[in-house]
Amino acid sequence: MKKNVLKTILCIATLLILTTSYICYSDEIKKDANLSSGSMKMNNIERNYLVYVPSKLNNKKKPPMVLCLHGFGQSAQEIIKMTGGKLNELAERDGVVVVYPNAVANHWNDKMGGVYKATDDVDDVGFLSALIDKCKQKYNIDPNRIYVMGISNGGEMTYRLSCEIPEKLKAVAPVISSMGVKSAKEYKKTKPLPILIMNGTSDPIVPWKGGEVNINGDVLSLVLSCDENVLYWINRNGASKKAEVKNLPDINKKDKSHILTKTYRSNNGNDVILYEVVGGGHNLPSLFPASSNPDNPQNMDIEGSEVIWNFFMSH
């Protein structure tokens, strides 16, 4: 028992060292009257979350909703810090409800081919599905405009939701994560969804070429390579295999990375978009300096959360 607890602590500590982005924002996030906490009971487990409700909702128009899933070792509050509060700022501007759920033991049960004993039996799909239903009713959410984004382990959970409850979602954006090998085989013919994928070619945790996501000996996931992941989504969405490629301006020369976007068009609107962060690590790209770890480089040419937001709002 003590050995398992120690192993869990080591796993979380390793991820926090590599994924340092959110720490830099801690002094910038102030208390916000529009941000509140909520909870619900799920399988005898008290689950909790934060929700941002913009000041002025149009009573004549149902608002969209964005579900934002934190990474392993993080929390709802920390994903807000990691994004610099940008999602709340955009939600206020556009009249969107943003929900930040908390995972049990700071880890989502993503079922992407790995084992994590603390959460292997936790029904996170059931929780997040019920949370969507609760928010739809409470905030009069537009059922046709529900989006999910997630970072790292939250990205893996985003993939799982895209496979198991696609009928509830309009579009998804997993960041620094990849589809599990087993899930890709199991969900070949699942409902198409527009998707924006954002991964770094030098990610020290989720390998660009696929394989094990291994933290201190714990295999948390067994994932596809980025190329295989994109191909899975091209086939699932019926998208063209020919990409529209753009080389984004390399605004920050010091970050030693740049971004290629590859868009695979679909006649039914279910495009597959890849943000290939060449030289990027296990970080959400941001204009703000965050990760100073040379083993985990961060791209600073775009504001990743805003790119994802614009993608969502276009659907």
**Tokens 């969209």 belong to which residue?**
64
Inside any domain, residue 78: yes
**Tokens 């079922």 belong to which residue?**
111
DSSP structural state of residue 133:
H
Higher pLDDT, 268 or 214: 268
pLDDT of residue 291: 61
Inside any domain, residue 261: no
pLDDT in tens, 213-258: 888 777 888 999 999 999 999 999 999 999 999 999 999 999 999 9
pLDDT in tens, 109-168: 999 888 888 999 999 999 999 999 999 999 999 999 999 999 999 999 999 999 999 999
Tally of domains in the chain: 1
Please determine, for residue 58, whether its predicted confidence score (pLDDT) is greater than 90: no
Inside any domain, residue 287: no
**CA dist 125 → 43, 159, 257 (Å):** 12, 11, 35
Cα separation, 197 vs 182, in Å, equals 19
Q: Give one DSSP letter per residue of 47-110, joined into a string.
A: EEEEEE--S---TTSPPPEEEEE--TT--HHHHHHHTTTHHHHHHHHHT-EEEEE--GGG----
Cα separation, 290 vs 24, in Å, equals 6
pLDDT averaged over every residue in the chain = 90
pLDDT of residue 135: 97
Full residue range of the structural domain in which residue 158 is found: 2-224+306-313
pLDDT of residue 217: 78
**CATH number of the domain enclosing 81:** 3.40.50.1820
Please determine, for residue 28, whether its predicted confidence score (pLDDT) is greater than 70: no
Inside any domain, residue 155: yes
pLDDT of residue 27: 41
Please determine, for residue 24, whether its predicted confidence score (pLDDT) is greater than 70: no
Higher pLDDT, 34 or 291: 34
CA 54 to chain centre: 22
Inside any domain, residue 6: yes
pLDDT of residue 23: 35
Inside any domain, residue 148: yes
Inside any domain, residue 102: yes
Inside any domain, residue 72: yes
